[in-house]
Structure 1
Amino acid sequence: MSMRSFSDRIRHAVLFELIGIAIFTPAAAWLFNQPVAHTGVIGVVSATVATIWNLLFNLGFDHALVRFTGRVVKTMPIRVAHAMLFEAGLIVLLIPFVAWYLGISLWAALMMDISIVAFYLVYAFVFNIAYDRVFPVRPLKAYGGVASRALPA
C-alpha cells in the first residue's frame, strides 16, 4: 500500500494553484469582460480556498479509496469521479463569495462558475495525471512499511 506524504500533498496543492491561477486570471478577465484586478482577487481567494479544500479533499479521498479498495491506485473512472467531486465541493464553497464580490446574483455567479469549473475540471484531470507521472507514489515498503512515517517528497 502507498500513500502520499504530507509534504508531497503540499507541493501538489501549491503547484496546482499557482499554475491554475496563472492561466485563470487573464483568461477570466477576457472571457467575462472583467478587469484583471477583479479576476485576480477572485483567483487569489479561490486559490486559497481551493488549496485548503485540495489538501482536505485529497487526503479524505485517498483514505476512502484505501478503505474501500485497499489501494490508492486511481483508475480512469476513479479519476473522473475524483475531479467531479472536488469541483462540486469547490462550487459550494465559492459561489457566495463570487456573487458578493462582483455584486451579482447567486444565479449569475453560478453560471459564471460553471464555465470556470469546466476549465478547472479539465485542468485538474490533466494536472493530476501529469503530477502522478512526474512524482509517482512510492510503496510504503520502500520506507520500512511504516504508514505513519512521512515519505520524502
Structure 2
Amino acid sequence: MRSSWDRLRHAISFELGGLALISPLGGWAFGLPVADVGVVGVACAIIATVWTYIYNLAFDAALQRVTGGTQKSVSLRVFHAVVFELALLALLMPVIAWYLEVGLLHALGMDVAFAGAYMVYAFLFNWAYDRIFPLPAWHEPSQSGQVAL
C-alpha cells in the first residue's frame, strides 16, 4: 500500500493539475469569469483533496483485503474513477450552487460537466502516477501460479 506521504503527493499533484486544466475550460464553457470558476475550483479542490485521500486509502485497503494486492486492471480503474466522481458530485453540487448563485439543477449540470472532465483526467492521471511512482511490492501472478515480478 502507499505511504501517507505518497498519498499526499498524489492528492496535491492531482488537484493542482486539475485546477490548471479545468478552471479556464469551465470559465469558457459556462461563460463565467475564470476568477469565479477558480474560486469554486479551489474550494472544490480542497474538498476533493480530502475526499481523494480518504477514498483512495479505503479503496486500496479494501482491494488489499479482497485480492491481496493493490494492482488495478483497466476495468477496475474505470470503476474506481466512476465511484469516486459520483460521490464527489454529491459533495460539490451545493458548493457550486451557493457560490455561483445558481439553482441546484443548474449546479448539477455544471457539476456533471466538471465530473465528466475530471473522470477522464482522473483515469489518465492515476494511470500515469502509478507508472511514475510504482509500488515495489506490485506483482501479478503468472498463469503457472508463480508470482511474476
Q: TM-score, normalised by structure 2?
A: 0.90
Letter in 2 for 1:44: V
Task: Give the Å deviation of 1:68.
Answer: 1.4
Q: Distance between the aligned counterparts of 1:43 and 1:62, measured in 2? A: 26
Match of 1:100 among 88, 92, 98: 98
Residue in 2 that maps onto 1:65: 63
SS of 2:136's partner is coil
SS of residue paired to 1:138: coil
The Cα of 1:19 is off from its aligned counterpart by 0.6
Superposed CA deviations along residues 14-53 of structure 1, whole A, max 9, x for unmatched, are: 1000011001111111110001111011110011000000
In structure 2, how many angstroms separate the alpha carbons of the residues matched to 1:66 and 1:136? 16
Report the AA paired with residue 110 of structure 1: L
CA shift for structure 1 position 105: 1.1
Q: TM-score, normalised by structure 1?
A: 0.88
Moved segments of 4+, more than 6 Å: none
Q: Residue 93 of structure 2: SS of its match in structure 1?
A: helix
Letter in 1 for 2:90: V
Distance 1:76 1:4 in 2: 19
Distance in 1 (CA, whole Å) between partners of 2:35 and 2:16 is 17
Q: Residue 13 of structure 1 corresponds to which residue in structure 2?
A: 11
The separation in 1 between residues aligned to 2:5 and 2:136, in whole angstroms, is 14
Which residue does 2:145 correspond to in 1?
none
* 1:139, distance to aligned residue in structure 2 (A): 1.7
Aligned residues: 138
How do 1:114-129 residues align onto structure 2 when only pairs under 5 Å count? 114-129=112-127
1:22 alignment counterpart = 20
Q: Which residue number in structure 2 is paired with residue 145 of structure 1?
A: none
Unaligned regions of 5+ residues in structure 2, if any? 139-149
Q: Give the alignment partner of residue 81 of structure 2, picking from 60, 80, 83.
A: 83
Identical columns (%): 50
- RMSD after superposition: 1.0
Which one has more relative contact order, counting CA pairs under 8 Å at least 6 apart? 1
Separation in 2, partners of 1:42, 1:21: 10
* Map of 2:50 onto structure 1: 52
1:77 alignment partner AA: S
Question: 1:139 matched to which residue of 2?
Answer: 137
